Amino acid sequence: MEATRKKKLLTLPQNSIRIIRIIAALLLLALIIVRAMDVAAKSQFGADTWLRLSVSGLIIGGMYALIAIGYTLVYGILFMINFAHGEVMMIGTFGGYFVFEAFNAIQVSGADGSQLSFLNAYPVLAIFLAFLAGMTISALSGLFLEKIAYRPLRGAPRLVPLISAIGASIFLQNAGQLLFGPQRRQYINPVVLDRGIGWNLEIAGSTVVLTYTGIFSLILSAILMVGLYLLVQRTKLGRAMRAVAQDKKTAALMGINVDQIISRTFVISGALAGAAGVMWGIHNGLFNYFVGFLPGIKAFTAAVLGGIGNIPGAMLGGMFLGIVESLGPAVLGIDFQLKDVLAFTILILVLIFRPSGILGEALTEEKV
Amino acid sequence: MNKQSIQKSAASGLVFGIIVIFFALIGFTVVFSGLIQKALGQSLGVGQIPSMSSFLIFLGLLGIWNGWRASRQDKHETLLVSKVLGRSAIAGLTAGVLVMVYALIVGALDNRGINLRTYLSQLSSESVRFFLFNQSIVVGGLIHVLYSTVLAVVGGFLALASERSRERVKTTRESIQKWSQDRWLGKLQGNPYVSYILMGVVLLLLVLLPRTWGAYWNYVMGTVGIYVLLGLGLNIIVGLSGQLVLGYVAFFAIGAYTFALTTSPEPHNLVWNFWVALGVAVLAAALSGILIGLPIMRLRGDYLAIVTLGFGEIIRILLRSDILKDFTMGPRGVRNIAGPTLFGRSFTTDVDFMYLIILAVLLSIFLARRWQESSIGRAWLAISQDETVAQATGVDTKKYKLLALSLGAAFAGLGGALFASRNQFTGPEDHALMVSINVLVLVIVGGMGSIPGVVLGAFALKGLPEILRELESYRLLVFGALLVVMMIIRPEGLWPARRPKLEVTVVKETEQVPLPAVVGGEQ
């Protein structure tokens, strides 16, 4: 009797946990704002720095968004984290790299008779083919990944496909290392897309360079995102995908080949990741077999941030994460080494305070 | 032969061709041929290309497997000579032609003087020529086709022979089993003294072996022991309570760094006693388990996995960064960590340390078993089966999940402290994500929730690679493939856990069940 009464006193009413959580969130927000104002008062950075940081955040955010869409599509249909998605992106990066290398080696004579590499003679075609190659090989690897590692496990307990995905991720990463070596490689860009050149903006007495590669990546990722949105919303395939995401059994009864739709989802998400991978190479230059790991985890963060299963959410989450990652350290006055910590902290905070993400998740079944 | 059968054989051949090419591309062909050569008792210097015969054996094994797989397409059909011949020849031919195409391309590029190593790091000129049997491109390619086809046919006939003799093998095996059961195994089973004697032998080995097998093996087995500790801890979290934690290395790091900072003279000049520091490290890890666990208890499954992965990475990045430099020495790591002392005598030799690790492992196995078989273990089992149902039946899920997390973390803390003490050094790179993944792999490969499985897994994943040093660079690749294959064909692991038996006496079928007086009387 005594014990039960004591226990009653100790257990909090049902609502209080929620209230505590809200209070904690508000406190955290207040802390961040105070810290930001404190840093802003010191005015370490001028307007030019802020502009540069936000633009680079947007560019990285576009790539995160493309990868995050892949996570969201797969999660929406299979309720599993495709842990190897970052490695699919890595494969795409290598695909684009080899196309550029090959075109750089081929010599053609230019309009004025001088010897040029194919890469610089027909830059648009070369870039197009590089993206095509990267997207195709990533799409294929996504397809085979699903066939080999995930399809035999359909209907298994949920830890099983996740562990399989982790295994596939480790396998692909190490296969990449063994095949291409651990050293960092550099993308050879066509001269028109040289890294470091771009439009110069005069702001507050100093110049900000909007690099061509960055703007190109941003525009391309926007185009791809719009394309994907139209695909999902307007086409027959998109309608089938949405149907399978809502209810596999009913979709199958309506005459949809569920396995085929799942395969195609993997193909689409692989192609987007491949495009992001080629962009990553063109924009950042240096890469190696490990290139997909961090973007993969961060894109998953972005997908969770926007509400998993929700495609506009993934786009928004990617952009948001990119901007936070590049502006956050400056706003909070911490070291730029810690931007990864910032991304992970955001993931943890989102999952604690709002597990359904900014735009809410678009899952119909209860997620376990 | 129908069309479907031909297609299947060709597909099987294609897969094998791709495997052979993949092995060649990652340099596995050369390494494994070298291993075969060593196994045959011939010497091989470092970086030397192995002999042709070992390469032929390697290719032959793959070819035989190809033919075997291709000829046995359906379990229920009886194999005929014509079927086997056709199928294995098609599979061998397909694989051979694919390999030939690859060999032609690579050989031609190499002949034109292109250094393939700038793109594919394992394709040195020697290894390309080795793959072509040191012949010209065309001859080498043709040899591949011929050899693959012939060996596939051999494999097909082996499959046929094995099927023909299956009945006989089965009866022989059964008679041997029966004989051993009658003569001695049946008598030994259920005899309590046998298990005592076995335990005694194992204990004796554990006492004697560290003294006899030298410093190198003590080092290797010490690592295995520490991984057994980590595996036992993660087994509690993942195997028993069913929470997938990918950031287990965080607890390992907390244990190692707590121990390091309290015993090393360098950053803080706290030179505590070994045992006090060990206890504090374990406590700190357990406490961190609770602290990390509290906010994320609501998350389940894959969300939990990703969040804990984030925690692990945050801790590693923080340890490496400059902010904590004054506190944890940053990327340089902590040096001069104390070794164990007992009654004023320091025992830091490898043998002493091995004993310490063995002691820790035995103690941990004992504790883990006690927990697993107690009511706590049953609560964990209930949670891992179905959390909602467990909660509905009155299990305080939050409490037991936190308990699992902190107990598992305590094991990691112990492992981390011993690891730091043995190496007398710990740095941020000791605590990379790979540690978490290694431990997870050993728990899963051994069998989730099974303590003997953890020990077996630790030996398989940390001990075997030490023996097969040449295969070191392929270790992670194999891990990854193993995880996928394991999940597909044997998700319960090598040594699956036995469920605790229900303590209910089952009514025997022969017993008379009293019939109701009026059958179907109630409507």
pLDDT in tens, B404-435: 999 999 999 999 999 988 888 888 888 888 88
C-beta of residue A89 within 8 angstroms of C-beta of residue A292? yes
Tokens of B90: 């098609």
Supply the pLDDT for residue B286: 93
Pick among B109, B484, B489, B490 to test the A interface (most A CBs inside 10 A): B484
**Per-residue confidence at B362, pLDDT binned at 50, 70, 90?**
very high
Strand partners, B335: B425
Three-state secondary-structure class, residue B122: coil
The answer to whether B318 contacts A341, with C-beta atoms less than 8 Å apart, is yes
C-beta of residue A313 within 8 angstroms of C-beta of residue A301? no
Give the CA diameter of chain B. 96
Least CB–CB distance from A337: residue in B300, B311, B322: B322
In chain A, whose CA is at the least distance from the CA of B116?
A180
Domain boundaries defined on chain B: 3-171, 214-489
Give chain B's mean pLDDT. Answer: 82
Pick among A348, A365, A366 to test the B interface (most B CBs inside 10 A): A348
Structural element, H or E, at residue A76: helix A47-78
d(CA B234, CA B487): 18
Residue from B445, B377, B448 nearest B234 by CA:
B448
B394: contact with A, CB 8 A cutoff: no
- Write down the ipTM of this complex: 0.82
Q: Which residues of A touch B124 (CB under 8 A)?
A: none
What are the pLDDT digits (tens) for B61-99? Answer: 888 888 888 887 777 777 778 888 888 888 889 999 999
Contacts of A20 (CB under 8 A, 6+ apart): none
CA distance B118 to chain A (A): 8
What are the pLDDT digits (tens) for B181-211? Answer: 777 776 666 677 877 888 888 888 888 887 7
Supply the pLDDT for residue A366: 44
Across the A:B interface, residue pairs with CB atoms under 8 Å apart total 144
Contacts of A46 (CB under 8 A, 6+ apart): A204, A206
The answer to whether B26 contacts A175, with C-beta atoms less than 8 Å apart, is yes
Average pLDDT on B445-452 reads 85
Least CB–CB distance from A170: residue in B27, B296, B479: B479
Q: Flag whether pLDDT at A6 surpasses 60.
A: no
Q: Which residues of A touch B296 (CB under 8 A)?
A: 348, 351-352
In chain B, whose CA is at the least distance from the CA of A24?
B295
Residue from B430, B472, B455 nearest B230 by CA:
B455
Find tokens 């961040």 and name the residue.
Answer: A32
C-beta of residue A130 within 8 angstroms of C-beta of residue A278? yes
What are the pLDDT digits (tens) for A242-253? Answer: 899 888 889 999
In chain A, whose CA is at the least distance from the CA of B294?
A352
Q: Flag whether pLDDT at B331 surpasses 90.
A: no
C-beta of residue B348 within 8 angstroms of C-beta of residue B222? no
C-beta of residue B465 within 8 angstroms of C-beta of residue A154? no
**Per-residue confidence at A207, pLDDT binned at 50, 70, 90?**
confident
More confident residue, B426 or A136: A136
The answer to whether A368 contacts B122, with C-beta atoms less than 8 Å apart, is no
Supply the pLDDT for residue B521: 40
The answer to whether A158 contacts B302, with C-beta atoms less than 8 Å apart, is yes
The answer to whether B309 contacts A297, with C-beta atoms less than 8 Å apart, is yes
What are the pLDDT digits (tens) for B270-307? Answer: 777 888 888 999 999 999 999 888 888 777 667 788 88
Length in residues, chain A: 368
What is the DSSP code string of B376-422?
Answer: HHHHHHHHHH-HHHHHHTT--HHHHHHHHHHHHHHHHHHHHHHHHHH
Q: Which residues of B touch A148 (CB under 8 A)?
A: 484
Average pLDDT on A228-238 reads 91
Average pLDDT on B338-357 reads 76
Residue from B351, B352, B364, B370 nearest B454 by CA:
B364
3-class secondary structure for A218-268?
HHHHHHHHHHHHHHHHHCHHHHHHHHHHHCHHHHHHCCCCHHHHHHHHHHH
Average pLDDT on B105-121 reads 83
Q: Which residues of A touch B397 (CB under 8 A)?
A: none
**Per-residue confidence at A107, pLDDT binned at 50, 70, 90?**
confident
Average pLDDT on B387-391 reads 86
Supply the pLDDT for residue A14: 60
Domains in chain A (CATH in brackets) are 47-353 (1.10.3470)
Between the alpha carbon of residue A185 and those of residues A191, A290, B118, B328, B439, the distances in Å are: 18, 11, 10, 33, 31
Find tokens 């051949």 and name the residue.
Answer: B13
Neighbours of A3 (CB within 10 A): 7
Tokens of B244: 């997938």
The answer to whether B306 contacts A160, with C-beta atoms less than 8 Å apart, is no
Least CB–CB distance from B488: residue in A153, A335, A348: A153
Q: Flag whether pLDDT at B169 surpasses 70.
A: yes
C-beta of residue A36 within 8 angstroms of C-beta of residue A324? no
Least CB–CB distance from A164: residue in B298, B299, B483: B483
Average pLDDT on A157-180 reads 88
**Per-residue confidence at B448, pLDDT binned at 50, 70, 90?**
confident
Average pLDDT on A311-322 reads 90
Side chain identity at residue A70, one-letter code: G
**Per-residue confidence at B518, pLDDT binned at 50, 70, 90?**
very low
Q: Flag whether pLDDT at B484 surpasses 80.
A: yes
d(CA A145, CA A143): 5
Q: Which residues of B touch A175 (CB under 8 A)?
A: 22, 26, 477
Strand partners, A198: A211
Supply the pLDDT for residue A135: 94
**Per-residue confidence at B47, pLDDT binned at 50, 70, 90?**
low
What are the pLDDT digits (tens) for B235-256? Answer: 999 888 888 888 899 999 999 9
Supply the pLDDT for residue A134: 94
Residue from B243, B235, B223 nearest B367 by CA:
B235
More confident residue, B301 or B142: B142
Supply the pLDDT for residue B295: 80
Three-state secondary-structure class, residue B334: strand
More confident residue, B1 or B99: B99
Side chain identity at residue B13, one-letter code: G
d(CA B335, CA B329): 9
Residue from A163, A161, A131, A158 nearest A146 by CA:
A161
CATH class in words for B214-489: mainly alpha
* Range with the poorest average pLDDT among B275-279, B335-339, B448-452: B335-339
More confident residue, B373 or A88: A88
Q: Flag whether pLDDT at A168 surpasses 90.
A: yes
Average pLDDT on B38-58 reads 78
d(CA A46, CA A201): 14
Supply the pLDDT for residue A11: 55
Average pLDDT on B126-142 reads 85
Pick among A17, A87, A164 to test the B interface (most B CBs inside 10 A): A164
C-beta of residue A342 within 8 angstroms of C-beta of residue A336? no
Q: Which residues of B touch A174 (CB under 8 A)?
A: 474, 476-477, 480
Pick among B23, B118, B444, B483 to test the A interface (most A CBs inside 10 A): B483
DSSP class of A33:
H
Q: Flag whether pLDDT at A109 surpasses 50.
A: yes
What are the pLDDT digits (tens) for A17-55? Answer: 677 778 888 888 888 888 877 777 777 777 778 888 888
Phi-psi region for residue B126, left (φ > 0), alpha (ψ -120 to 50) or beta? Answer: alpha
B349: contact with A, CB 8 A cutoff: no
CA dihedral over A172, A175, A180, A181, signed as positive or negative: positive
**Per-residue confidence at B523, pLDDT binned at 50, 70, 90?**
very low
C-beta of residue B368 within 8 angstroms of C-beta of residue B443? no
Side chain identity at residue A168, one-letter code: A
C-beta of residue B389 within 8 angstroms of C-beta of residue B382? yes
The answer to whether B306 contacts A81, with C-beta atoms less than 8 Å apart, is yes
More confident residue, B266 or B135: B135
